[in-house]
Amino acid sequence: MALLAVGVSHRTAPVELREQLAVPGERLPALLAAMRAQLGADEVAMLSTCNRTEVYLSLPDGDVPPGEQARRVVEWLAVQQRVAGERLQAALYAHDGDEAVRHMMRVASGLDSLVLGEPQVFGQMKDAYAVAHQAGTVGKSLERCFQQVFAVAKKVRTETAIGANPVSVAFAAVSLAKHLFSDIGDTRALLIGAGEMIELVARHLAENGVRSLTVANRTLERAHALADRHAGRAITMDEIPYALEQADMVISCTAAQVPVLGKGAVERALKRRRHRPLFLVDLAVPRDIEPEVAELDDVYLYTVDDLQGVIDSNVKAREAAAREAEAIVAERSAQFRVQQREQGAAETLRLVRARVEALRAAELEKAQAEIARGGDPAEVMQRMSRALVNKLLHDPSVVLRQAAADGREDLLEFARALFAVGDDGSSPPGGDA
């Protein structure tokens, strides 16, 4: 079995190229089946996310070098996804054998993610395996590989702090909210803006089960697009004062050059809220929320600078945890390499045992027939044992004589070790008598 991992990621390809390579979930099973058939792979799986597209293949052992196999994958993907082959080749990376396994372990553990240690990729890797398994394109080789990858990712999550601390502003804002509210699932969130940062905030809030989500934006259409993705509602900027009355938290990030939320609007909302506390996070630069809002009672206002200090310390903590994670990956990938070699030995032993068993059965059948015809059992057993030994040693003897003629002392030494004999023909210490 030859394992190959080929792909592009945020480290090698711009978002425009990654978008072209992304494969919708409903199309993936058919693509996997076609890839296996047309590329001559025994098994195949694909991971396709916003940050990476990777193909994992188990290929028959042969004369085709890994680099050539990778080139074939690239050409095939380029045609399927209508991407310029030269552009895809420039962004490509390929790993084979042990390095492919190690790469998969690092990906699943969040060590190769845009945000170090992010947990979503572990679930995405499990989904990729599940889809391939359902499509029938995963067999014993990738099965063993994926199970080891999942075990390592789980070990990294449980034995290191790589995912314990937020390292993105959006995640940090939501994490802060989780600390301030006893049950974030019972809170109402008002998001101001509809850009990438607010999109991340909305996703984190939705994943944490926030009770309701309202998105306010100057362009109502963009607000609707974002709100609809997270079962929320969209409003215009003019409706913010009314939305403030119901919100428990407000997170804002727009491109406005002047504040979009002033002290007066917040003060009026607090009166109608009967001074129920309000949590606000201003992620914008320039700021969206007037600094004077922090002077109001029952208001907790945080800026991006307040979060950045937490993030910086958390990045250092994650980097330290990442070193521990890398050690786990190195150890487990080495163990998997040994297991794979043992699997190879097991298959060879099975074939050898089957051949020896066939020879034994044939000689036994002859001996039983001779005894049935009246032959002396002792003489028959003697002939059977000599014949069996001669047949077992015939092919090894031919190979060893040729090895001696060719000066292959390494094969002769290997034979002595294999049959556990010393130079004088005796068994070495500790061997069977």
Does a cis peptide bond (omega within 30 degrees of 0) precede residue 286?
Answer: yes
Q: Which of 15, 22, 37, 50 is catalytic?
A: 50
Burial profile 349-377: b = 16 or more Cβ within 10 angstroms, e = fewer: eeeeeeeeeeeeeebeeebeebeeeeeee
Q: Quick count: other Cβ atoms within 10 Å of Cβ 394?
A: 10
Separation of alpha carbons 283 and 292, rounded Å: 16
The question of whether 50 is a catalytic residue gets the answer yes
Residue (of 306, 256, 318, 244) closest to 281 by Cα position: 306
The angle that helices 140-159 and 120-135 make with each other, rounded to 10 degrees, is 160
The answer to whether residues 221 and 213 touch, using CB atoms and an 8 Å cutoff, is no
The answer to whether residues 105 and 148 touch, using CB atoms and an 8 Å cutoff, is yes
The answer to whether residues 57 and 73 touch, using CB atoms and an 8 Å cutoff, is yes
Separation of alpha carbons 349 and 230, rounded Å: 56
Could you give the residue numbers annotated as active site? 50
